[in-house]
Amino acid sequence: METTVLVNANANASAHVHARSTARRSLFCSALFDSSQLPDRDYYFDEDKQENRDAYKKHVALMLTLALEDPTAAAPSDAAVQAATHVFDLEVQLAKAHLTKTESRDPVATYNKMPVADLNAASKNVFPFDAYLLGSTGKDSGALGDVNVRHTAALHQVAVVATTVEPAVLSAYLKWHAVTSCAGYLSKALVDENFHFYETVLSGTQELKPRWKRAMAFTESALGEALGQLYCAKHFDEDCKTRAFAVVESVRAALEERLREVDWMKSDETRQEALKKMSRFRIKLGYPNKWIDYSTLSIDTDKDNFLSMVFKSRAFDHAQDSKEMNAETDREKWVSPPVKYDTTNYRCTSRQE
């Protein structure tokens, strides 16, 4: 299966199942909107979002003050207020070229497959994507294959902004994104302010989860299958899995029998297609047949602080993602960790977890 490499216009890359060929995973280029920290494009322009925009600028200023100037500050500094204005104005320039939520759901408009060389041209050769992707993934343009750019106009806009913006503005923007990307793992003041804006102001959530729950959530995110392996060894071993699969197969057999007999399916061709589709369902139950190998994720609990562990976890996940770029789709891969109770249907690969 083919893997598409997905690159954000801020040059983040990730691998996704190819939209038109589930056989491979390809590099996917999503033009920069996840480098803007409001939920979507409309928040930058809709009249009814003005309070959110004002709150966002205050949030940026206070976060920059706490992270870079005074970790005990109750209010932002004048310099941080000015930096927040620069950040917001730059994000508005980028947002102008972005798709609306409705437009972003268009599978045709968001499918723009091209080689990496064309990706350089799409950014007006401002960004050497071939060199960046080689450094980021360890794969040259030939090994990466084609790239899907979700929105070429946004990529063009990034090139325009990058070549016209003042260095001080770009510096403020980059500092802000560095801070906010780690906000949930920093000091209590930063964690609380981050929660206040994103969860209380934008979502209405009033109470931050206890620290132990947040620590458990991160551990599950970083080491989901390692935890799952321990959990399943104690609570859902191979014998349990075999018996559970027997139940699932009996349900499948009953469904097959029903499909052969239902009278509302008049056409034999339709009936055969239904049976064919059912036979292709892949059931993934309990835990994966092949566990993730975490041996390259080295954590020193005596020397590494929490943020170092976060960075190492991110680097490990990125390395795993890079291996999948332009590679056959691993149909045995699990998206949800075994310790998470979940039922998911993946239409692109016809499997259920």
- Closest to 94 measured CA to CA, from 180, 30, 179, 28: 30
Model confidence band, residue 148 (pLDDT cutoffs 50, 70, 90): confident
pLDDT (mean) for 167-182: 94
Contact predicate 38/52, CB 8 Å:
yes
- So what's the pLDDT on residue 113? 87
- So what's the pLDDT on residue 2? 40
- So what's the pLDDT on residue 26? 55
- So what's the pLDDT on residue 15? 57
- Closest to 115 measured CA to CA, from 68, 83, 148: 148
113-114 and 327-328 strand pairing: unpaired
Q: Name the average pLDDT for the chain.
A: 86
- pLDDT at residue 317 above 60? yes
pLDDT (mean) for 113-132: 85
Contact predicate 9/31, CB 8 Å:
yes
pLDDT (mean) for 67-91: 97
Contact predicate 16/138, CB 8 Å:
no
Any residues with CB less than 8 A from the CB of 157 and at least 6 apart, and which?
Answer: 9, 32, 93, 94, 96, 97
pLDDT (mean) for 259-277: 91
- So what's the pLDDT on residue 343? 66
CA distance 188 to 185: 9
Residue 289 exposed, middle or buried by CB count within 10 Å (0-12, 13-18, 19+): exposed
- So what's the pLDDT on residue 190? 98
- Residue 344 vs residue 275, higher pLDDT: 275
- pLDDT at residue 102 above 60? yes
pLDDT (mean) for 150-175: 90
Tell me, rounded to whole angstroms, the distance of Cα 306 from its chain centroid. 21
The two structure tokens encoding residue 302: 């005596």
- So what's the pLDDT on residue 1? 36
DSSP string for residues in 124-158: TTSS-HHHHHHHHHS--HHHH--EEES-HHHHHHH
CA distance 80 to 171: 12
Integer CA distances (angstroms), 188 to 55, 63, 70, 185, 313, in order: 20, 12, 13, 9, 21
Beta bridge partners of 16: 4, 26
- pLDDT at residue 260 above 70? yes
CA distance 240 to 250: 16
- What's 238-272 look like in SS3? HHHHHHHHHHHHHHHHHHHHHHHHCCCCCCHHHHH
CA distance 298 to 304: 10
Contact predicate 78/92, CB 8 Å:
no
pLDDT (mean) for 175-182: 95
Contact predicate 26/145, CB 8 Å:
yes
pLDDT (mean) for 258-282: 89
pLDDT (mean) for 28-41: 66
Model confidence band, residue 123 (pLDDT cutoffs 50, 70, 90): confident
- First vs last C-alpha separation in the chain: 19
- So what's the pLDDT on residue 31? 43
pLDDT (mean) for 128-157: 87
- So what's the pLDDT on residue 325? 86
- So what's the pLDDT on residue 136? 87
Model confidence band, residue 278 (pLDDT cutoffs 50, 70, 90): confident
- pLDDT at residue 8 above 80? no
pLDDT digits (tens, 9 = 90+) for 181-225: 999 999 999 999 999 999 999 999 999 999 999 999 999 999 999
Model confidence band, residue 328 (pLDDT cutoffs 50, 70, 90): confident
**What are the helix and strand counts (H, E) for the chain?**
13, 9
- So what's the pLDDT on residue 309? 95
CA distance 220 to 119: 36
Contact predicate 23/46, CB 8 Å:
no
Neighbours of 82 (CB within 10 A): 15
- So what's the pLDDT on residue 210? 96
- Residue 27 vs residue 45, higher pLDDT: 45
CA distance 346 to 353: 8
Contact predicate 96/157, CB 8 Å:
yes
